[in-house]
Amino acid sequence: MIETRELTKRYDGFTAVDRVSLSVAEGQFAVLLGPSGSGKTTLLRMLNRMVEPTSGTVLVNGQDTAGMQAEALRRSMGYVIQSTGLFPNMTIRRNVATVPRLLGWDRRRTDKRVDEMLELVGLDAKTYGPKRPDELSGGEAQRVGVARALAADPPVLLMDEPFGAVDPITREHLQIEMKRIQRDLRKTVVFVTHDIDEAVLLADSIALLRNGQVQQSGTPEDLWRRPANDFVRDFFGENLGLRIMARHCLSDVELDALPPDDSWHTLPAIVHGATLKEALAELVGTGAERLVVTVDGTPKGTADFASLMRALSAGVQCADGVRTGRGRDA
């Protein structure tokens, strides 16, 4: 879908992005991660030619973007930034309608699409449509930013620290919804962040940058199990394992059958939508060896530490989409 070859950007002899070759498959959620100044934004902006590369190429569906008209290229990619960049002089409806208008859609189609998009990001079109951006909370504004980026149904979404400026709780909501939207709509997303938790939670693949160079790219599990160098290991720190466990759900675990006797009644119960991290916490917290996993209140089987670890290496994550619940079963 998107591929960069030896992509480089220099500013007066200073190299902001250095020979980056990456590829992002269709429908993949790719995260560009790295410390401040490592070149993430510059790299992202070269993808839609907001920044012209010094050398190297960007291919979209195998086509060199250098030959395309920049505006047309940008209209085919959604773009979301931290400060939301909502146009303060336009209503929310009109903001969301921007790209469809640019593409010359007719009124009816645009209106319908705007309603759908606001719905998609969880905002009521009637209430929010006529508002102005300065009447929204940070989280709402960010949702509108996502709706605007998705309005013309671009196959690709570029996002630069979109949730960097909202409070932690709202941020987590937005992250979970973003992941859901990306899966439902099968969008290819390139997402810049310097927040490790966010990266590990969202990414199908991570490219870790430093001084403009890719240190390592791969799935979070790859980066955890086989860090390419000390920088990668140190950057993620010792909590990476736990963070990775938060990516996986009990629904991915191959459960052991319930023992025929009633002994499992004394075991702590947990919903199958809980993450492995939550399951682990439960094991450690209760001192039990096994947990009973329930689906809709019905016990389905049991899991112990070893089965959790097996699920991790299988590398599937929350197959049915979203983390449906958390913590102990009621």
Partner 1 sequence: MTDAVRTHAKVVAASGSVLGITGAFVAHGLIFRPNRIVNADPVSLWSALGTWGWVLVALWVAAGMLALSPLSERTRGVLVTILGGAAPALIIWRCGAEAAAYAARAGDVARTSLGATVWVSLFAGYMVIFAATAWLSPGPLRAGLTYAPVLAIAALIASGSLGELAIAREYANNADSFAREFRLHLTYVAASVGIGLVAGLLLGLLAARGRSLEAGVFGVLNVLQVLPTLAFIGLMSPVLASLSDHIALFARWGVRGVGWAPVIIVLSAYAVYPIARNTHAAIVSLDPGVLDAAQGIGMGKLRRLAEIELPLAMPVIIAGLRIALVQTTAGAIVAGLVGGGGLGTFVFLGAGETATDLILLGVLPIVALALMFDRGVLALQRALGDRKAHA
User: Are 163 and 171 within 8 A, CB to CB?
Assistant: yes
- Under the criterion CB under 6 A, does residue 225 sit at the interface with ligand ATP? no
Q: Is 67 in the site for partner 1 (CB under 8 A)?
A: no
Binding to ligand ATP (CB under 6 A) within 31-90 occurs at 34, 36-42
Binding flag, residue 96, partner 1 (CB under 8 A)? no
- Does 123 bind ligand ATP (CB under 6 A)? Our answer is no
| Binding of Mg ion by 41 (CB under 5 A) | yes
Residue 38 as a binder of Mg ion (CB under 5 A): the answer is no
Least distance (Å) between residue 120 CB and Mg ion: 26
- Binding-residue pattern over the window 154 to 193 for ligand ATP, x denoting contact by CB under 6 A: ----------------------------------------
Does 99 participate in binding partner 1 (rule CB under 8 A)?
Answer: yes
- Closest separation between CB of residue 103 and partner 1, Å? 9
Q: Are 113 and 150 in contact (CB under 8 A)?
A: no
Alpha-carbon Rg for the chain, nearest whole angstrom, is: 22
Q: How far is the CB of 12 from ligand ATP (least distance, A)?
A: 7
Given candidates 183, 194, 233, 328, which one binds ligand ATP under the rule CB under 6 A?
194
**CA gap 248, 317 in Å, rounded:** 5
Phi, psi of 53 (to 5 degrees): -65, 150
Exactly one of 20, 29, 42, 79 binds partner 1 (CB under 8 A); that residue is 79
Report how many residues bind Mg ion under the rule CB under 5 A: 1
Cα torsion through 264, 265, 266, 271, rounded to 10: 80
Residue 82 lies near partner 1 (rule: CB under 8 A): yes
Binding to ligand ATP by residue 16, rule CB under 6 A? yes
Token couple for 27: 């429908």
Site for partner 1 in 125-154 (CB under 8 A): 145, 148-149
Q: Which residues contact partner 1 (rule: CB under 8 A)?
A: 45, 48, 50, 71-76, 79, 81-89, 98-99, 102, 145, 148-149, 158
